[in-house]
Every structure is written in structure tokens, then in C-alpha cells.
Amino acid sequence: MTKKRIRFAPLDGVLIVLLAATALYFVHRVTVEMQYHWQWPVILQYLIRWDAGGPHAGTLTKGFLTTVKLSLWAMMLATLLGTAMGLLRVNHGRFERLVATSYVELVRNLPPLVLVFIVYFFIGERIMTLLGMEKLVRAASPGVQEILAFLFAPPARLAGFLAGLATLVLYEAAYITEIVRAGIQSIEKGQWEAAHALGLTRGQQLRFVILPQAFRRILPSLAGQLISTIKDSAIVSVISIPELTFRGLELMSATYLTFEVWITITVLYFILTFACSLGVRRLEVAWRK
């Protein structure tokens, strides 16, 4: 199989020149007109910190890792919840459809910032207190606490992390619900009839025939929504979860390195989202074979 050669059209060259000119104009405006002194070497210590024990994650790297954990958990749980709600949306039962529709319409018509505060102040703290999770975590062995810190957050920040995670899951799952519903309803009626003729129950029809086809069709839309989860994770910075945006705000307030900090954060977000995009493209190619 021969690989396709990448060809650059004249328009591509024009776009590259325009992007380069825009970048040069930005640097000139900041450096000359605003008389801003760039201090890029200072940023390095906030990415990787060296001491006698060797290299350690800096402030921005810690925030980046928290964003990765938050996004991965949100992606997995939102996909599960969205799939479940999507199935309820196409269920024959009126009550099931009403529950799923009410959830979708309620969450999608709420600003994410409002949802963050609702979950954090009215749901997160109450549920954590009623279940006694904070006491259980603090009373756990050091080994268990290390595992929780690695998978989620340190015990002192676990409640906030879970509240932010719940917010992202609820918000993203509402959109995934509609994506899954549309995918299921796009499957031809003949596929349902063929599965029924084979003697499969409705659950088996969905599991073995309908959902595999539906997920192939909705993969681009689903991938776009999951990548959006990474960008939407910045909203939880308002409840002091030390993810990348929150760390950047702290660092900017302490160092006044405004442009260096936010350019670095932009690059880190781009690396994360672009890696996900490449992974989805490979998955699409694999499914087409």
C-alpha cells in the first residue's frame, strides 16, 4: 500500500505566510510597543523543577497532569452516562424517555458556570458529608491515599476534584446523549428487522447489531465532544481545582509573566487535544478496514 504524498497548494503557502506575519506582528507589538521583556527561561522551572533528588514536576506540569486525569475520567464516565441516557431516549417506555429528555434539556440549557456552583455547593458537599467520604479517606492507610492521589487528587482536594468531575460528566453527557440517540436512530429499519428475525431480544439487538454500527457513524461527533471535554475542564478552575488554567492564574499573579504563562498553557492544551485528534483519526482508519 503506497502512502499518499502530502501536496501543498498555493493557498496553503499563503496561509502559512499570513500566520507567520501575524505571529511576527504580535511579537513586535508586545516587545516594541508595549516594551514587554520576555523571560522564557523562567518558565522552564515551572515545567520541570530540579533539586538534589532529581527532576520533579513544576507548577504548570502538575496542573497539566491534573487536567489529564480530570479529562480522562470525565470522558469515560460521560460516555457511559451519555450512552445510557441515549438508550433511554430511544426506549419504548414513555417514562424512560421523559427522564432522559428532562435531563438533556435541563443540563444543556444551563450555563456550565452555574452548573459548577450548583454541583459544588448544593450537591458535592452534601453528598460527601452524608456519605462520610472525607473521614473514610483521611482514615485510610497511606498506601490507599497514594493510590487515590494518583488516580484522582490528594485527600485534602478530593472533594473539590469529585465535584468538578461530576460537573463535567453531567454537562458533557447531556450532549453525548443526543449524539448517541441520533446515531441509533440513523440505523436503517431493516437492521432492526433482521436482528429481530434472528430471534434476538431488544437488548441483544442493541448490543450486537445496532450500537456497533451507530458508534462507527457517530465517532467523529463523539470524538469532537470528548475533545471539547478537555477544553471545558478549565471551567472547574472557579472552584479552585488546581488544573492547568488555575495553576496558570496563580503563576501569572505571582510572576506577572502574562504572555509566557498563557502561551505555554495554550501549547499544553493544544498538545493534549491534538494527540486525542490523532488517536481518533487512527481509530477511524482502523474501523474502516
- What average pLDDT score do residues 139-148 get? 85
Task: Please report the pLDDT score of residue 13 as a whole number.
Answer: 79
Q: What is the pLDDT of residues 193-225, one digit of tens each?
A: 888 888 888 888 888 888 888 988 898 888 888
* Main-chain phi, psi angles of 92, to 5 degrees: -75, -25
- What average pLDDT score do residues 126-132 get? 71
Q: Residue 287 pLDDT > 80, yes or no?
A: no
Percent of the chain beyond pLDDT 90? 36
Report whether 65 contacts 151 (CB < 8 A).
Answer: no
Mean pLDDT of the chain: 86
Q: Residue 49 pLDDT > 50, yes or no?
A: yes
Task: Please report the pLDDT score of residue 1 as a whole number.
Answer: 46
User: Using CA atoms, how far apart are residues 58 and 257, in angstroms rounded to an integer?
Assistant: 16
User: Using CA atoms, how far apart are residues 95 and 114, in angstroms rounded to an integer?
Assistant: 27
- What average pLDDT score do residues 138-162 get? 85
Give the start-to-end residue ranges of the domains of the chain: 67-240
Task: Please report the pLDDT score of residue 68 as a whole number.
Answer: 94
Q: Residue 33 pLDDT > 60, yes or no?
A: yes
- What average pLDDT score do residues 174-191 get? 92
Report whether 179 contacts 137 (CB < 8 A).
Answer: no
Percent of the chain beyond pLDDT 70? 95
Task: Please report the pLDDT score of residue 5 as a whole number.
Answer: 62
Q: Which of 196, 251, 226 is nearest to 63 (CA)?
A: 251
This prediction has a pTM of 0.86
As separate numbers, helices (DSSP H) first and strands (DSSP E) second, the chain gives 14, 2
User: Using CA atoms, how far apart are residues 173 and 226, in angstroms rounded to an integer?
Assistant: 10
Residue 75 pLDDT grade (very low, low, confident, very high; cuts 50, 70, 90): very high
* Main-chain phi, psi angles of 214, to 5 degrees: -65, -40
Report whether 101 contacts 90 (CB < 8 A).
Answer: no
Q: In this structure, which amino acid lies at residue 145? A: Q
Task: Please report the pLDDT score of residue 121 as a whole number.
Answer: 84
Q: What is the pLDDT of residues 228-283, one digit of tens each?
A: 999 999 999 998 899 999 999 999 988 888 889 999 999 999 999 999 888 888 88
User: Using CA atoms, how far apart are residues 73 and 79, in angstroms rounded to an integer?
Assistant: 10
Given the DSSP bridges, would you call strands 48-51 and 54-57 parallel, antiparallel or unpaired? antiparallel
Residue found by looking up cell 450537591 in the block: 123
Task: Please report the pLDDT score of residue 50 as a whole number.
Answer: 80
Q: 252 by DSSP, 3-state: which?
A: helix
Q: Residue 41 pLDDT > 50, yes or no?
A: yes
Task: Please report the pLDDT score of residue 182 as a whole number.
Answer: 92
CATH architecture of the region 67-240: Orthogonal Bundle (1.10)
